[in-house]
Amino acid sequence: MGYDAHFRVWRGDDHSGELQDFTVEVNEGEVVLDIIHRLQATQAPDLAVRWNCKAGKCGSCSAEVNGRPRLMCMTRMSTFTTDEVVTVTPMRTFPVIRDLVTDVSFNYQKAREIPSFTPPADLKPGEYRMQQRDVERSQEFRKCIECFLCQDVCHVVRDHEDNKNAFAGPRFLMRVAELEMHPLDAADRRDMAQDEFGLGYCNITKCCTEVCPENIKITDNALIPMKERVADRKYDPVVWLGNKLFRR
């Protein structure tokens, strides 16, 4: 059964903006992105929104719905009561370009800073067999659709803009962890995780894991194992002594 919903949508640019109220038709089976599209078609033709697949796979339609980071195309209207006000705002952690569209280039910058996969130079094709659990670990991390909702929700940058230089965020610390735990990656990623990508800023709040639409266990399977690897090295007395003797 259709009904009229009360939507509040943020309109503006990086200088100023405000929430605008709309009364808009909702039909059975629709998602928040359908309603945003209806607003574009009927009441707000210049409303800016980024989207592409409408199937939870391209990671484009990230926004905040009633304050929670969500994919608009995967947020069913049936999760709200018919008298509930549905507020849609752009991701808070990134600068607004216009309306619901944010500038997520911070994430691409961090991606570029991570040294790529580094297999041993003398390893020839067919010379190595991967263990199934190593395959599965990479496969889990590679489900990422780069929606950046985890990056948006993490308080380290959400509440502290000035941490953006020092902290790569959960999505990219997960990438560093994936490479560090890859049996064929010869680079040592532990110092870079800590010193360049800010692993120490993460205090395991797990908000990133909670919002991930791909249900990747970012904290348990990537960030905590990475922290353990960094700590092992720091507190290993042999490593410590070696560093003292040979690194000066």
Q: Which residues bind ligand F3S (CB under 6 A)?
A: 154, 156, 170, 202-208, 219, 223
Backbone φ and ψ for 226, nearest 5 degrees, come out as -65, -40
Choose the one of ligand FES, ligand F3S, ligand SF4, none that binds residue 144, judging by a C-beta under 5 to 8 angstroms depending on kind. Answer: ligand SF4
Residue closer to ligand F3S (CB basis): 176 or 208? 208
Q: Does 71 bind ligand FES (CB under 6 A)?
A: yes
Task: Note the residues at the interface with ligand SF4 (CB under 6 A).
Answer: 144-150, 171, 211-214, 216, 218
Q: Does 90 bind ligand FES (CB under 6 A)?
A: no
Instruction: In whole angstroms, give the CA distance from residue 80 to residue 70.
Output: 14
Minimum CB separation from ligand FES for residue 147, in Å? 6
Choose the one of ligand FES, ligand SF4, ligand F3S, none that binds residue 156, judging by a C-beta under 5 to 8 angstroms depending on kind. Answer: ligand F3S
Q: Does 61 bind ligand FES (CB under 6 A)?
A: yes
Instruction: In whole angstroms, give the CA distance from residue 159 to residue 6.
Output: 29
Burial-class residue 110 by CB neighbours within 10 Å (0-12, 13-18, 19+): buried
Measured in residues, the chain has a length of: 248
Instruction: In whole angstroms, give the CA distance from residue 5 to residue 8.
Output: 10
Q: Does 215 bind ligand FES (CB under 6 A)?
A: no
Minimum CB separation from ligand SF4 for residue 160, in Å? 19
Residue closer to ligand SF4 (CB basis): 38 or 137? 137
β-bridge mates for residue 98, sequence order:
101
CB-facing half-sphere around the CA of 112: CA atoms within 13 A:
5
Q: Work out the number of other CB atoms within 10 angstroms of the CB of residue 38.
A: 19
Residue closer to ligand SF4 (CB basis): 26 or 104? 104
Token pair listed for 65: 């719905």
